[in-house]
Structures are given as C-alpha cells and as structure tokens.
Amino acid sequence: MLRLQLLDSFELTHGGRRLELPLPAQRLLAFLALHDQPTLRGYVAGTLWLESNEAHAAGSLRSALWRTRRMGPRLVESHGRRLELASVVAVDVRAVVTWARRVLDPSTELNGADVAPIWRPGQLLPDWYEDWVEIERERLRELRAHALEALCHRLTAAGRFGEATEAGLAAVRDEPLRESAHRVLIGVHLAEGNRAAALHRYRAFALLLREEVGMSPSSRMEQLMASVTAR
C-alpha cells in the first residue's frame, strides 16, 4: 500500500518503506492529494511555480512528474491535460475529510470509527509556507472544528456524555478562542446536570477571551448561561 502523510510532515511510504522524493515532486504530490478531482496541468504548474513564466512552470512540472515516475510505483495519473493522484495512494488528509463529512451529515449513524479520530493531532504541512498550503490548512482546520462541534452535539443528544466531553475538549484544545467550541462543551455539562462544571468552563473562557483579545462572550453564550445563573 502506498501511503501519503501530510499531517505534521510530508512522508510517502510503500509497503512500510519510506520513499525519498525531491521537494518539487513532494509539492506536486501534496497539491494533487489536496484536490480530489483531476486538475488541469496549467493550473497545477501556475500554482506551484507562481513566480515563473508559463514555459518555465510547465518545464518544472514535467521535471517533477519525471521524478515521481522514477520511484517505480505509479503516483500520478494523467488524463489528457489533467493530472490527479493515483487512486492507489492513501492520503491521511483525505481520511480526515471523509470522517468530517460523515460526522457533519445528520443522516449518518455514528459508530466507533467516527469517535476514534477526535484526538488525532497534526497540522497540514506545518513547515510549508506557500499560499496554496495556507489556504488548504485553513480549510482543513475549519472543517475539523465544525466536525468536532457537530460530533459533540450529536453525542450529547444520544446521551453519550463521556464521548461528547472528549469531542468538546478536542474542539477547545484545537481552537481555545473559538466560542462555539466552548458552547458545545458547556452544553454537555448542562445536559448531564453539572451546572458547576458549566459555570467553571464559562468563567475560564470569559477570562481567556478578555486577556487574549479584550473581548467578552457573545449574547448567545450569555443566553446559554442564563439558565445556570438564574437558579
């Protein structure tokens, strides 16, 4: 099995053996892995070699493709003017996206595999600073954040409070200043009847928000806590 890791760092393995690729070939594989459909050669070249003219960018793309072919296993498939990552390559980021879409779809039934990935750490290619990587990194971060919050909410509704708490804590850990993450975690405490835990979580978030960005919790958060402080 060919496996491509993009979380934490770039690593390509074949049958458990690490394959070494030059950086241009790495960038090409990463770019194709983050696009789940065939992509025009011109767009690939123009994005990866943004500062080059069209002819030089096309030459750089041909060189990167040649280097991937030297590895032995087919890594890139060509469909006329379009390129895509070979279907035999398993990509960790695509697994995360598939999980997130399942969790965000209310028509799907949650299973153990949906709960297992919540603590998976990893940032998309943290040492790469190109604009296209930054965009994909932000997209993945937002998708995971929404998925964790949805998972926490769905587990709470199902009465699976322990797992819901884990999902909420993962969301808060990933995005400490994201109010919606704190709200779903407070929602777990309230559903369990743990009003003191909910109040403690609220006060800790309010303090963090004030110290970090000089802001106060939103009216939506205040409305959620009104049921606690009114009693």
Could you state, in chain order, the average pLDDT of each consecutive group of 10 residues for the chain (231 residues)? 94 94 97 95 96 95 95 90 96 93 93 74 90 96 95 96 94 95 97 95 97 96 84 56
Q: Burial code of 78-95, b = ≥16 C-beta within 10 A, e = fewer?
A: eeeeebbbeeebebbbbe
**143 and 211 belong to one structural domain:** yes
Of 201, 123, 124, nearest in space to 168 by CA: 201
**CA torsion, points 197, 189, 174, 37, in degrees to nearest 10?**
180
Structural domain range at position 157: 91-229
pLDDT of residue 22: 95
pLDDT of residue 137: 95
**64 and 101 belong to one structural domain:** no
Number of structural domains in the chain: 2
**211 and 151 belong to one structural domain:** yes
Q: Can you spell out the DSSP letters for the chain? A: -EEEE-BSS-EEEETTEEEP--HHHHHHHHHHHT-SS-EEHHHHHHHHTTTS-HHHHHHHHHHHHHHHHTTSS--EEEETTEEEE-TTEEEHHHHHHHHHHHHH-TTSPP-HHHHGGGG----BSTT---HHHHHHHHHHHHHHHHHHHHHHHHHHHTT-HHHHHHHHHHHHHH-TT-HHHHHHHHHHHHHHT-HHHHHHHHHHHHHHHHHHHS----HHHHHHHHHHHT-
pLDDT of residue 23: 96
C-alpha–C-alpha distance, residues 18 and 11, integer Å: 7
CATH number at residue 20: 1.10.10.10
pLDDT of residue 71: 83
pTM score: 0.90
pLDDT of residue 113: 78
CATH number at residue 110: 1.25.40.10
C-alpha–C-alpha distance, residues 82 and 39, integer Å: 5
Q: Which of the listed residues 71, 87, 103 is the one where a domain comes to its end?
A: 87
pLDDT of residue 122: 81
**111 and 6 belong to one structural domain:** no
